Structure 1
Amino acid sequence: MRGLQSDSNGEMSRMSPATVWKQVTGAGRNVVHRYNRLSVKGKTALVSVSLINVGLLIAVIIITPTRIGNWFNHLAESLRAMGVGGMFICALFVVIASHPPLFGFMGSMTLIGFTYGVWPGFLVASLAALSGAAIAFISVRTFFLGWIRKRSNDKWEAFGHVMRNKGLPLVVMIRYCPLPWAMGNGLFASIESVKLWQYMIANLAILPKLLIPVFIGSRLTSLTHDRPSHDPLQFWLNIGSILLSCSISILTGIWIYRLTLEQMRKLNDGGDEGELAADALERGALLGDYTDDEEAADEPLTLGHSMRPSDSMLRRTSSSSDSR
């Protein structure tokens, strides 16, 4: 564990401003490169999601943000009027959305912030998120582990071995990666070397990250009541705080994700396990590379698709073995 932490600290100290700037300027080329490497299914999924988002944006413009804001205001008032029952309903949304393959976790957390503010909203959201993560972990581990074992491969076994060797620090780092909450619950539950207590400690460690959607929801409440003509400074401060919170969350998640992959690739105690484990995480994450000659990797590994090491991976690992 100390070796992993010291490597992480050393890597962070070597990141000069010039290196950071180079990564920022190359982000656009990296996005284009990743898109070009997507298979037909991957490109279709990406275009479909983009069209859905554009459709939602057009719907918001047609309906007008004011009407949507008024509807959510009425919903929030109804939930608050229910007292503890309203809190339970909001928490239930979070718990249900925590189980893979369901979605809506971040929206449910934002609704809690919109309805109850940062406090007691963050308390309700935290308890619901932790409960949902525990229930999803136990459910997947109890009912789906045998099904997952039948579809495991060398990369997945290497991933589990690295997780077993490095323990809690690596669990926390991967939990900070930009994986959807429900998908992360299924990911860790499918790795037998990850214990429930380790996973719950990792969830406790990322509670500050869960504060962001609650905070954004509380700021959205102010935006639905305030108008730029009433208090321009307050209005634009709310807009700025929302954008800043989103930027911090996204950039931090991507940075930790890339750092985690880099550290995992350095763990070659058992041959090429570090490289295979990093590749397994990359295939299971939304930021993974899916090429045309890896058709089976179009879906995340947590969905049970078979993903044998590709020829490029075998060439890469064999060359690294020869160099050693």
Structure 2
Amino acid sequence: MAARHFTTPLAMIKKYAKFALHRYRKLHLLGKLFIWMLLFFYMCMGVFIIVVTPSRIAQFMYDKTRLLAATRFGWLILLAALIGVSFPPLIGHTTLVTLGGFAYGMEGFFISAAGSLIGSALVFMILRLVFSKKLHTWSSQNQKWQALESVVTSKGLLLIILIRISPFPPWVYSNSLFASIEAVKLWQFVIATTCVFPKILLHTFIGNKMAELSDGDQRGHMDTRTKVLDVCFVIGGIIIAIFTSWTVYNLVQNHIRHLEGIPPEVDELAAEAIEDYDEEAPLLSPNEG
């Protein structure tokens, strides 16, 4: 029996770090300079948070999100932002989903779900349409991608859903990944994307609880028990998100590597194609001609 492939949380963190380092090395000088400027900005933000105090910053953010929620078409701004960050190389999908919960409470789920679904579908269609010729030429010459195509074709929607709900690749690159797999149809991709809704609901819930804790007026009317419960809800939600992401990733990798009716070597190549998608995917690599 083949050895069970299992990824520890530390290994998963290393994978994300390796991915980030790989993307950094592929950047031009200006891109690398931008990254360093961004790191410097975050360092300054850290100092700013310490000096100003988190409670005052949280109150400021709460007040501004209240203004957004009170704006007639504020929800449309959030919807458009979610659609925008679905296109590579933009990032921030989870942050915007959490912001939706922060600004609109649990009703923010519907905005986030709609924006995520529309954005990912648009990415899928546009990339598939624009790069269809390049995709066909490239995939016919890549062994790993052929293996992934054959596995997806053989196992269909269930496997597509499993790959979609996996935390790796991240949201924006997952959109590109599926657009790169010719065997995946738009309707399958849309259905698979709806299976990410529970995760969106969880992050909306976290944002909602963070908003309750951010407003000084609401905090002032809370008893200690309620405050502790809200903090536990936020921390617990984050832990659940991390644990489920780690669990799902391992399940997906093990499932792909042990598919019935598929030769083991094909399984392995398909799993590697997903793991190395940032290097292999034809719609993500600027070096592919």
Give the TM-score range, shorter chain. Answer: 0.7 to 0.9
Tell me by how many angstroms 1:304 deviates: 2.1
Q: Map Cα deviations across residues 185-222 of structure 1 (whole Å, 9 max, x no partner).
A: 11111101001111111111221111112111111111
Give yes or no for the alignment of 1:196 onto 2:186: yes
> Which residue identity is paired with 2:101?
G
Match of 1:100 in 2: 88
TM-score (norm 2): 0.79
Instruction: Work out which of the residue numbers 201, 218, 232 in structure 1 matches 2:208.
Output: 218
1:175 to 164, 183, 191: 164
Alpha-carbon shift at residue 284 of structure 1 (Å): 2.4
In structure 2, runs of 5+ residues without a counterpart are 26-34
Secondary structure of 2:84's match?
helix
Residue 243 of structure 2, aligned match among 240, 251, 255: 251
CA distance in 1, matches of 2:253, 2:97: 28
When the two structures are superposed, what TM-score results if normalisation uses the length of structure 1? 0.71
- The verdict on how the C-alpha distance between 1:145 and 1:242 changes in structure 2, with shifts beyond 3 A counting, is farther
2:128 corresponds to:
141
Match of 1:115 among 60, 83, 103: 103
Q: 1:59 to 1:173 in 2, by over 3 A?
A: farther
1:8-66: CA deviation from partner (whole Å, max 9, x where unpaired):
xxxxxxx9xxxxxxx89x655x479x57x959944977x97988766644442233223
Aligned counterpart, 1:281: 274
The alpha carbon displacement at 1:305 in A equals 6.5
Mark the CA change 1:221 to 1:304 in structure 2 (over 3 Å): closer, same or farther.
Answer: same
| Partner deviation per Cα, 1:249-285 (whole Å, 9 max, x = no partner) | 2211221111111121123625621110001111127
Distance 2:93 2:254 in 1: 28
CA RMSD across the alignment: 3.3
Shift of 1:301: 6.7
After superposition, where does 1:156-171 map in structure 2 within 5 Å? Answer: 156-171=145-160
In structure 2, the residue matched to 1:262 is 254
Q: Per the alignment, in what secondary structure is the counterpart of residue 99 of structure 1?
A: coil
Identical aligned residues as a percent: 31
Cα distance in 1 between the residues matched to 2:282 and 2:245: 20
Distance 1:282 1:51, change over 3 A: farther
Q: 1:79 to 1:228 in 2, by over 3 A?
A: closer
Q: Which amino acid aligns with 1:102?
A: L
CA distance in 1, matches of 2:273, 2:44: 33
Alignment partners' CA distance in 2, 1:235 and 1:260: 37
| Counterpart contact for 2:131–2:283, Cα < 8 Å | no
Where does residue 311 of structure 1 map in the other structure?
none
Q: How does 1:1-324 map to 2 (within 5 A)?
A: 27-28=9-10, 30=11, 34=14, 41-42=21-22, 56-83=45-72, 85-118=73-106, 120-152=107-139, 153-178=142-167, 179-226=169-216, 227=219, 231-267=223-259, 269-270=262-263, 272-284=265-277, 297=279, 303-304=284-285
Change (3 A) 1:279 1:93: same
> Structure 1 residues 141-150 or 213-222, which shifts more?
141-150
The 3 A distance-change label for structure 1 pair 148 and 61 is: farther
User: Structure 1 unaligned runs (5+)?
Assistant: 1-14, 16-22, 286-296, 308-324
User: How far did residue 96 of structure 1 move?
Assistant: 0.6
Contact 1:148 1:304 in 2 (8 A): no
CA deviation string 1:132-186 (max 9, x = no partner): 1111111111113333445442111211111111011111111111132111111
**Greater Cα shift, 51-60 or 138-147:** 51-60
| Aligned residue-pair number | 267
Instruction: Report the counterpart of residue 12 of structure 1 in structure 2.
Output: none
CA 1:168–1:52: 2 relative to 1, 3 Å? farther
